[in-house]
Structures are given as structure tokens and as C-alpha cells.
Amino acid sequence: MYQDKMAIITFAPEYAEETVRMWRESKYQAIGVLETHNFESHVYFLNHILPKEFHIDIALVDKKVVGIIAYNESHISQLYIHIAYQGLGIGKRLLERAKDQSTGRLTLYTFEINTKAQQFYESNGFKFVGSGHENEENLSDILYAWTAESESGKISPFHSQN
């Protein structure tokens, strides 16, 4: 339904405030914790800090920001989908972009409390690696990993190459 109207583009600063509003609402719904930083600091982080280490793509539907992913060749830092657009394949499309640009292995953290995200990542080929990562929300995290080989059925993401 929205797939025909959706565009994925490289993030540009003119989308910063709309993106941050969507990000904060989605995150609050997922974990029930208010953002620790004020809105302006979050916009600054998106415009100036995050792009230093990660490529940022956003998903637009009818020119409205409905998703964000920040990734590099080995790690996904952020993936949030607008509350009203979850479950429509937008997150999967953003995730596929990160996989396509990866070295064949990606890691990410998700909050342990966010079982919906865990189901999403597991259904998209990510495997549990461990837990306990520290974060500013003081919530338990889960580390996930994906490999191109495990997705194609060749080897598990934890197969020793010795």
C-alpha cells in the first residue's frame, strides 16, 4: 500500500526536526522512557554527530518522514519507524539498504524491553549474540548480529573460521 508511495533518500538537514519528532515518538512507544536530551540537542546530534560515523537514510511517504536508519558497513546505530507506519515493510526496506552496503556482517543493539523490535530483527536474519550493553537510558540491551552467509544458509553468524 505505502510501498508505491515510499521513497528512501539520504538524510538532509531540512528533514531534521520532522525526523527527530518521529524518532522520539517511536522510541517512547517502544520503551516507555522519555528521551534524556532536549529536542534541540537531538536535532544537533542528528545533523552533526551521527553523520560522522554513520550514513543516514530516511523513508518518506507523501513527503512525510516515516522512518530513519543510521548505519555503516558493520553496525546499525539507529532504526526507527513512525508509529502509524510500523508493520508495513518500511523497516525491512531500510534494513535491506544497510545489508546491501555492509561488509557482509552487521551488528546492532536493541532494548531488551522492546520485544517488537526483537521479533522484527530475528525475522530479518539477526541472531542473538549477548546482552547487557550500557546506554544512557539505563535499560538492558541485546546485541544482535547478521551475516550474509547465515541469510543464504551457508554458515551461522557464529561459525568459527579457524
Taking only the tens place, the pLDDT of each residue in 51-89 is 999 999 999 999 999 999 999 999 999 999 999 999 999
Rounded to whole angstroms, how far apart are CA atoms 75 and 54?
9
Task: Give the CATH H-level superfamily of domain 6-151.
Answer: Gcn5-related N-acetyltransferase (GNAT) (3.40.630.30)
Please compute the mean of the pLDDT values over residues 24-38 and round it to a whole number: 92
Q: Is the pLDDT of residue 154 over 60?
A: no
Give the CA count within 13 Å in the CB-facing half-sphere of 81: 18
Model confidence band, residue 153 (pLDDT cutoffs 50, 70, 90): low
Nearest residue to 71 via CA among 57, 51, 94, 55: 55
Across the range 123-141, mean pLDDT stands at 88
Q: What pTM did the predictor assign?
A: 0.89
Q: How confident is the model at residue 152 (pLDDT cuts 50, 70, 90)?
A: low
Average per-residue pLDDT for the chain:
90
- Determine how many CB atoms are found less than 10 A away from the CB of residue 152: 9
What does the pLDDT average to over 8-33?
Answer: 96
pLDDT value at residue 134: 76
Under a CB-based contact definition with an 8 Å cutoff, are residues 111 and 140 in contact? yes
CA 52 – CA 32 distance, rounded (Å): 29
pLDDT above 90 covers what percent of the chain? Answer: 78
Per-residue pLDDT tens for 91-116?
Answer: 999 999 999 999 999 999 999 989 99
Is 1's pLDDT higher than 90?
no
| Cβ count near 57 (within 10 Å) | 19
Q: Where are the alpha helices (DSSP H) in the chain?
A: 16-31, 39-44, 90-100, 115-123, 148-151
Which segment, 37-46, 127-136, 141-150, is predicted with the most confidence on average? 37-46
